Amino acid sequence: MFITALFRPKTLVAVGLALVLTTAAYGFAAANTVPDSKAGDGTGAVSGYTVSNVTYYLEASDPSKLDKVTFTLDAAASSVRTQLITSGSWYTATNTTGNDWEVDPGAGAVDVEDVNTLHIVAVD
């Protein structure tokens, strides 16, 4: 009797459908891949830069205004920003050659009498 019930059309269709779905699910699971990645925690030294050769240039037409500031870092950097007035604007420095940098705040942007800091932030 059990064998007869196993070969009924409804049972065969149900078993066949179950096999197809199981195979498809296995196929989808086998196709999923995740690339290798890294995660972790660690420490490293942050030493900072030494700044030298700082030179301030005044505008030729109005010497009460700052034209630019140049300086040299002791190592290579990829990005340098400079602040000339405490709580003032940050200016992007331009790498002129090697480890030499220049900050040009723009014509008439900074009064010499307002310059009260040279804050340099650099990253390698």
CA distance 26 to 23: 5
Residue range 98-115: mean pLDDT, rounded: 93
Residue 43 scores a pLDDT above 70: yes
pTM of the model: 0.65
Does the structural domain 51-123 have CATH classification 2.60.40?
A: yes
Torsion of CA 69, 72, 73, 78, to 10 degrees: 70
The per-residue pLDDT for range 62-89, each reduced to its tens digit, is 999 999 999 999 999 999 999 999 999 9
Residue range 45-50: mean pLDDT, rounded: 88
**Residue, of 77 and 29, whose pLDDT is higher:** 77
Domain extents in the chain: 2-27, 51-123
How is the chain split among helix, strand and coil, in percent rounded to 5?
25, 30, 45
For residue 59, what pLDDT band results from cuts at 50, 70 and 90? very high
Assign 111 to helix, strand or coil: strand
Question: DSSP readout, 27-48?
Answer: HHHHH-----------------
Using CB atoms within 10 A of its CB, is residue 120 exposed (0-12), middle (13-18) or buried (19+)? buried
The per-residue pLDDT for range 110-122, each reduced to its tens digit, is 999 999 999 999 9
